[in-house]
Amino acid sequence: MHRIVVHEVGLRDGLQMEERVVPLETKLEWIRRVAGTGVDLVQVGSFVHPGKVPQMADTDRLFTELDSERSKPKGPTLSALVLNEKGLERGLACGVELFCMGVSASETHSKKNTGMSVTEATDRIVAIAGEAERAGSKVQVSVQSAFGCGYEGVVPPERVLAIVERYLNAGLQNISLADTAGHASPDQVERLYGRILKIDETVDLACHFHNTYGLALANCYAALRVGVRSFESSIGGLGGCPFTRIAGGNVATEDLVHMLHRMGLRTEVDLPALLHLAEDVAEFFGRDLPGTVYKTGAIPETPGA
């Protein structure tokens, strides 16, 4: 089986919905701790207007601090979300290793999120991705609301595939499908990824599932079965898109890793450390997080333990 990649996005997607702003030093502690668990990528933040998303106002400073203390090549790849040319410029200036950017397949969600139509947003993201690659950076492009929209309901798969083909025609091979509204079901996941693989079996596929309706982990399993390699998750299940109708958290990193461990996959990732971090994040926010395994504890590997 291909190597499974775990991409922790809690510091970006997880925090953008939180009203309580997390101090810089606390974020740095959380990033260092999750980086030490053996996950492959950590999304540090997004380069957005600080007035619109105050939680992301310190993204530049986080990257600058982390870049100064990293002992490369050890440690996970540090990623960030960018929405426009200005964000890319900021990211290039402070050491981002992987730029994540995307387009919504829902016209309503696209306009609420970016102020642009799907076609306009696709043109812009393809251009920005090309600029990032020419600068020597790695790029992951995504299709948001790929499995449904909180405003429009069903999103035709042909609309998703049209965006994917635009990416592939531009030479962009690292592609994620994001279930922004949490509408995906396992059979739908297998069908849509299967159709992409029929277009190009060499594409490097990623997934980003929200647990709005309780199906995120099942959808991860379906994606794994069909050949998806990279899984985006959030510590404690934090998260949600502020521009969708009903915001639900991401699949919890510790729940995903617990499932993988039960399957004999990625057993070197430090699950107890992830559970302790989820506990501490829950304590910081003063409430239970959506994740499950940090509350129940992992199933013992030794019977009777």
Active site residues: 241
Q: How many CB atoms are closer than 10 A to CB 286?
A: 7
Rounded to 10°, the helix 118-134/157-169 angle is 30
